[in-house]
């Protein structure tokens, strides 16, 4: 189908405009006429050849993207409209007027037309899985089945906001250390590439033994000056080979285990995965998604191959009649605290509530761990940067001071 942008008049003579999804221009005109719209101009907005790809990327990937924040705002607005007892098609029409992202506007039109033709909202969203993942679609489907679509949409919006907030906090905490690292590398590169060679040419005229720091600096500068391209090639080749190795199932699993066992970073990485697991599973169960289906969705969300394998094994055990806590405990990946909370939740019938409580605790723990780590990392990086730059400066100044004494 294609999306058409139109301008027209209502039967009362009021000018209006919008977008409509149709197979052809004729069908678009017929649809608008059936809605009491007299079209004055209409043009195709998005070609029907959406399957066009360029090296594996769809045309929509190249033209524009839909951010998670846009989907979150759309979901919250739709929840409000549905809660106000507005028919779904009318709610989607009103939603279209509020959305600013051009690509999301077109998708909203396509979803509205699909719903208008008799599809459920979940099935209409399933036609755009690049924007709406399985988690989103299954929660909407459960909301439609239970008659609590507005509640599920609100819960989904809160879930997306929480995930975005967690990512933003981690990213914001790491900005300053990364900036310090870039500045340090830039300063060292400038000193070794621009300052040291000029000073070396001056030292060569001196008939005296240079201090050890100066000789070390000159050797490093010579090595980098003569072999920088080999180092660059080696870094590119090694990076390519590592990426290829990570793309394999065995490589991805080993890399993920290595990340989990890293000092400091490994603990934070594991906590983020556990928080994501608990939050997603708790949200799905609270929305009425069956446990097996929820587990299959969760394993695609945790973004950890080790946890994904553990969840897959746990899902198989649950199908055989096991509890949730037992196979997760057997994997040795999940902390004892969350295993205990899951076990208590299963016994009390409040599993989703316990999972959401665990998610709150681990997300707060992640924020604390990241803040503590960055508070220690920043002065350490400043110290390393100061010592390194100080060494370079002293290596240059020592022979200059000796030269000034000789001249005197």
Q: Over the stretch 176-217, which tens digit does the pLDDT of each residue have? A: 778 888 888 887 777 777 777 777 777 666 666 777 887 887
> CATH number for the 68-160 domain, one of 3.30.450.20, 1.20.81.30, 3.30.420.40, 3.10.100.10?
1.20.81.30
CA distance 151 to 132: 18
User: How many C-beta atoms lie closer than 10 Å to residue 170's C-beta?
Assistant: 16
53-62, 77-86, 359-368 — which is least confidently predicted?
53-62
**177-408 in CATH: which number?**
1.20.81.30
> 311: Cβ–Cβ under 8 A, 6 or more apart, which residues?
277, 295, 298, 299, 302, 328
What pLDDT was estimated at residue 56? 36
Question: What pLDDT is recorded for position 405?
Answer: 65
Q: Does residue 360 or residue 17 have the better pLDDT?
A: 360
Q: Which of 37-41, 171-175, 324-328, 386-390 ranks highest by mean pLDDT?
A: 324-328
Asked if 68-160 and 177-408 have one fold, the answer is yes
Q: 217-229, pLDDT tens digit by residue?
A: 778 777 777 787 8
- Does the structure show a pLDDT above 50 at 103? yes
Domain ranges of the chain: 2-60, 68-160, 177-408
| CA nearest to 264, candidates 381, 135, 374 | 374
CA pair distance 163, 103, nearest whole angstrom? 23
377 vs 81, more confident: 81
Q: Which fold has domain 2-60?
A: Ubiquitin-like (UB roll) (3.10.20)
Taking the model in full, what pTM does it have? 0.68
What pairs with residue 42 in β-bridges?
Answer: 6
For 328-342, what is each residue's pLDDT tens digit?
A: 888 888 888 889 988
pLDDT digits (tens, 9 = 90+) for 340-363: 988 999 888 888 899 988 888 888
Q: What is the pLDDT of residues 114-162, one digit of tens each?
A: 888 888 998 999 888 888 888 888 888 888 887 888 888 888 888 888 8
Tell me the pLDDT of the chain averaged across its residues: 81
Per-residue confidence band for 48, with pLDDT thresholds at 50, 70 and 90? very low
């Amino acid at each position: 189908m294609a999306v058409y942008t139109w301008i027209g008049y209502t039967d009362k003579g009021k000018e209006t405009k919008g977008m409509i999804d149709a197979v052809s221009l004729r069908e678009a005109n017929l649809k608008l006429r059936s809605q009491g719209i007299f079209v004055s101009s209409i043009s195709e907005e998005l070609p029907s050849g959406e399957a066009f790809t360029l090296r594996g990327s769809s045309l929509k990937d190249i033209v524009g993207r839909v951010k998670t924040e846009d989907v979150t705002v759309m979901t919250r607005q739709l929840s409000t409209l549905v809660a106000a007892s507005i028919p779904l098609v009318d709610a989607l029409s009103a939603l279209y007027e509020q959305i600013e992202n051009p690509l999301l506007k077109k998708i909203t039109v396509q979803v509205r037309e699909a719903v208008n033709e008799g599809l459920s909202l979940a099935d209409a969203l399933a036609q755009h899985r690049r924007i709406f993942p399985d988690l989103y679609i299954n929660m909407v489907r459960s909301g439609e089945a239970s008659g609590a679509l507005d509640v599920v949409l609100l819960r989904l919006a809160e879930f997306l906001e929480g995930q975005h907030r967690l990512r933003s906090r981690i990213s914001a905490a790491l900005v300053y250390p990364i900036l310090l690292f870039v500045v340090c590398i830039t300063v060292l590169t400038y000193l070794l590439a621009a300052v040291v060679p000029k000073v070396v040419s001056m030292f060569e005229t001196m008939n005296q033994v240079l201090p050890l720091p100066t000789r070390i600096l000159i050797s490093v500068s010579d090595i980098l000056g003569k072999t920088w391209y080999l180092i660059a090639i080696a870094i590119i080749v090694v990076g390519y080979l590592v990426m290829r190795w990570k793309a394999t199932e065995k490589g991805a699993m080993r890399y993920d285990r290595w990340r989990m066992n890293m000092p400091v970073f490994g603990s934070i990485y594991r906590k983020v995965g556990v928080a994501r697991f608990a939050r997603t599973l708790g949200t799905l169960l609270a929305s009425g998604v069956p446990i097996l289906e929820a587990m299959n969705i969760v394993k695609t969300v945790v973004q950890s191959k080790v946890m994904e394998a553990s969840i897959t094994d746990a899902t198989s055990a649950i199908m055989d009649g096991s509890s949730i806590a037992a196979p997760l405990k057997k994997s040795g990946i999940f902390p004892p605290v969350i295993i205990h909370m899951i076990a208590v939740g299963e016994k009390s019938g409040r599993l989703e509530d316990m999972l959401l409580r665990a998610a709150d605790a681990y997300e707060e723990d992640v924020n604390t761990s990241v803040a503590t780590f960055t508070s220690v990392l920043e002065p350490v990086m400043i110290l390393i940067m100061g010592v390194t730059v100080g060494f370079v400066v002293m290596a240059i100044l020592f022979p200059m001071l000796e030269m000034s004494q000789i001249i005197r």
